[in-house]
Every structure is written in structure tokens, then in C-alpha cells.
């Protein structure tokens, strides 16, 4: 496949499995096109035109020509300078890497990660939180994340890939959309009554079973095994952790249990304060599941996947 074809396939999968629904995403893209048309010429030159077809600011081709042919991809959760050197070293040993694919964003994709967090507003609205409340809750958190990203040295891995002349891309929200949808459907079908039922169900998924063996399996961090789950929400997409103020609103909307990739201590305490059970499914296992669901589509096109950097590779 060509690099551009891989990119377009991944964006298409993200849209197809977006928890907001395809129509909502296409509406967002139409707004971006209208915004672009209204810009002055010099402003158009400054705009990232990928936004006209890709609604996920944290998923980008960071280095490489669109027509570049790809047969083998080095795929991992965090692909930084060390992994770029690893790709080059594998090439020297006879295993040529045509593309490096990270899950977590690098370069301009990490600089603009905050933009995809607006997804969380719509997800809260779907759960019954009024959209005006959801937007108000998220506004300060999105600003906080944006300011926090500003001091980062975003382009280290991108510069290394350019020097080694190995194409580099990242696939973040499309993979997170895939895992969120997959797990929500899976847990709903299991009709889990207690938190222990949820943990047991998660452990039947190969990525989480593998994570258990390395001490990173599903863990209850708010609640107990015997506690009843109530309404379960799999919260695994939308860039990064949302606002601490969301838990009171989610509780009022009837959410009983959150299944998350990870949770900060302040967020955990707010969930506990608002009587919401929390299960950490596991960060690397959840990211691995999302990436596996993505790259399985590439395997169907004859692409060879070389896993590294925390990716628990399971082919379905």
C-alpha cells in the first residue's frame, strides 16, 4: 500500500467507529470546510489542510511522501527517537522498515492533541449531560491541556525519522475509537452485574490476559468486587483525561461504573466522591487492542506488522 492509502484507511476506520456517529463527524468536517473557505489567502496557507478530511488532530503522517510504498511497518505504543534508531538498525540487519507507526501522537499531532478533546462534550451529552454543561466543563480542561503541551519538544522523533529517512505516522483517536466501541459492545453483551464480573470479562480478552502476566491487568480502583456495576460506560477516547468536574454530572446522569485506560489521583477521588465505580482496564493493553483492530485491516492488504514498544500484538 501507499503511505497515503494507509493514512486514509485509518482515518476512515476512525470515522466509521466514532462513538458520536458518522453523521456527527461528517457535520464537523463540513464546518471545517466552511471555515477554510472563509479564511483569507494567507490564513489558508497557515491552516493544516488535513483537517478538511481528517477530524482527528492527533492522527497524522509526520514524515514521508504520500506515494511511498509500504510493505512492512514497525508498530508500537510510543515511538520516539529510540524506536526510530531501532527501525534503522532492523534495516541494517536485513529487515527493512518502510514505515514507523506510533499510537501516541508525536510532532504536530501531539501539539494539537487538545483539539480532539471536544469529542468528550458530545459523549457526555449522549449519556444525558446537557451539552451546554458538557462544553462548560471541558473548556477549562482543554485550555489546561493546550498550555501543558506548549513547552514540549514535539518534533524529536520526527526529526530523527527525517534524518534516517524513514516515514513516520501516528494513529491515536481512530484506535481509541475502535477499542471504546469494541469494549462497550463486549461488556454490554456479557451482562455484567458486579465489578468482579467486569474484571473477569476483560481478562478473557487476549490483550488484557497478556497484561495480567506483566502486572498491568484490569484493576478496581474505586469500589469493590462485590459492588454492583449499574450503568457501565467505557471511557477510552477523546484525546486524554477530561475534567474533574465531569464525575458529578455523570453520576447525576446515571453512570454507575467507568471502565478507563488510566486515571489520575484527583480524578479518582472525584469519582469516589460522586459514588462512581472505576475499573482501570490497563493502558498498554487497551492501546494494544485498539491498534490491533486497526492494523488487522492493514494485514488484509498484505502489510507485515513488526510489533514493539509495548504493543501486545494479537491478530484477529
pLDDT at 195: 98
Residue 110: how many CB atoms within 10 A of its CB?
Answer: 23
What number is the average pLDDT over the span 282-311?
98
> pLDDT class for 16, splitting at 50, 70, 90?
very high
- Look at residue 8 in the predicted model and tell me its pLDDT: 98
pLDDT for 145 equals 96
Backbone angles phi, psi at 266, to 5 degrees: -65, -40
Angle subtended at Cα 260 by Cα 18 and Cα 78, rounded to the nearest 5 degrees:
80
At 20-76, the pLDDT tens digits run 999 999 999 999 999 999 999 989 999 999 999 999 999 999 999 999 999 999 999
Would you place residue 257 in the very low, low, confident or very high pLDDT band (cuts 50, 70, 90)? very high
Q: Give 141's pLDDT tier (boundaries 50, 70, 90).
A: very high
By percentage, how much of the chain surpasses pLDDT 90?
Answer: 99
The pairing of beta strand 168-170 with beta strand 99-102: parallel
Contact present, 121 and 239 (Cβ < 8 Å): no
Give φ, ψ of 248 to 5 degrees: -65, -40
> How far apart are the C-alpha atoms of 129 and 133, rounded to whole Å?
7
- Half-sphere exposure (CA, 13 Å, Cβ side) for 18? 25
- Is residue 125 classed as helix, strand or coil in its secondary structure? helix
What was the pLDDT predicted at 177? Answer: 98
Q: pTM (2 decimals)?
A: 0.96
Average pLDDT score, the chain: 97
3-state secondary structure of 100: strand
pLDDT at 71: 98
Ordered domains of the chain (ranges, CATH): 3-172+287-308 (no CATH), 178-283 (3.40.1390.30)
Res 292: pLDDT: 98
Predicted confidence band of residue 113 (pLDDT cuts 50, 70, 90): very high
Amino acid at each position: 500500500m501507499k503511505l497515503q492509502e494507509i493514512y486514509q484507511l485509518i482515518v476512515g476506520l476512525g470515522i466509521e467507529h466514532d462513538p458520536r456517529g458518522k453523521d456527527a463527524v461528517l457535520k464537523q468536517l463540513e464546518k471545517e470546510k466552511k471555515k477554510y473557505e472563509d479564511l483569507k489567502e494567507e490564513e489558508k496557507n497557515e491552516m493544516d489542510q488535513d483537517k478538511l478530511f481528517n477530524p482527528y488532530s492527533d492522527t497524522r503522517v509526520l514524515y514521508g511522501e504520500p506515494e511511498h510504498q509500504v510493505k512492512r511497518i514497525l508498530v508500537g505504543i510510543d515511538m520516539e527517537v529510540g524506536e526510530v534508531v531501532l527501525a534503522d538498525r532492523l534495516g541494517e540487519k536485513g529487515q527493512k522498515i518502510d514505515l514507523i507507526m506510533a499510537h501516541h501522537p508525536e510532532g504536530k499531532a501531539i501539539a494539537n492533541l487538545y483539539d480532539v478533546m471536544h469529542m468528550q462534550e458530545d459523549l457526555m451529552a449522549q449519556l444525558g449531560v446537557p451539552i451546554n454543561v458538557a462544553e462548560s466543563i471541558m473548556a477549562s480542561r482543554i485550555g489546561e491541556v493546550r498550555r501543558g503541551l506548549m513547552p514540549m519538544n514535539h518534533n524529536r522523533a520526527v526529526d530523527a525519522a527525517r534524518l534516517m529517512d524513514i516515514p513516520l505516522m501516528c494513529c491515536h483517536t481512530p484506535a481509541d475509537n475502535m477499542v471504546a466501541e469494541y469494549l462497550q459492545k463486549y461488556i454490554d453483551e456479557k451482562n455484567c452485574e458486579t465489578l468482579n464480573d467486569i474484571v473477569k470479562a476483560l481478562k478473557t480478552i487476549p490483550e488484557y490476559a497478556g497484561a495480567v502476566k506483566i502486572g498491568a491487568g484490569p484493576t478496581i480502583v474505586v469500589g469493590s468486587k462485590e459492588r454492583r456495576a449499574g450503568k457501565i460506560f467505557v471511557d477510552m477516547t477523546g484525546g486524554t483525561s477530561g475534567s474533574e468536574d465531569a464525575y458529578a454530572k455523570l453520576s447525576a446522569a446515571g453512570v454507575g461504573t467507568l471502565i478507563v485506560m488510566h486515571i489520575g489521583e484527583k480524578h479518582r477521588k472525584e469519582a469516589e466522591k460522586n459514588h462512581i465505580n472505576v475499573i482501570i482496564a490497563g493502558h498498554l493493553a487497551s492501546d494494544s487492542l485498539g491498534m490491533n483492530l486497526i492494523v488487522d485491516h492493514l494485514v488484509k492488504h498484505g502489510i507485515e506488522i513488526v510489533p514493539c514498544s509495548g504493543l501486545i500484538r494479537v491478530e484477529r
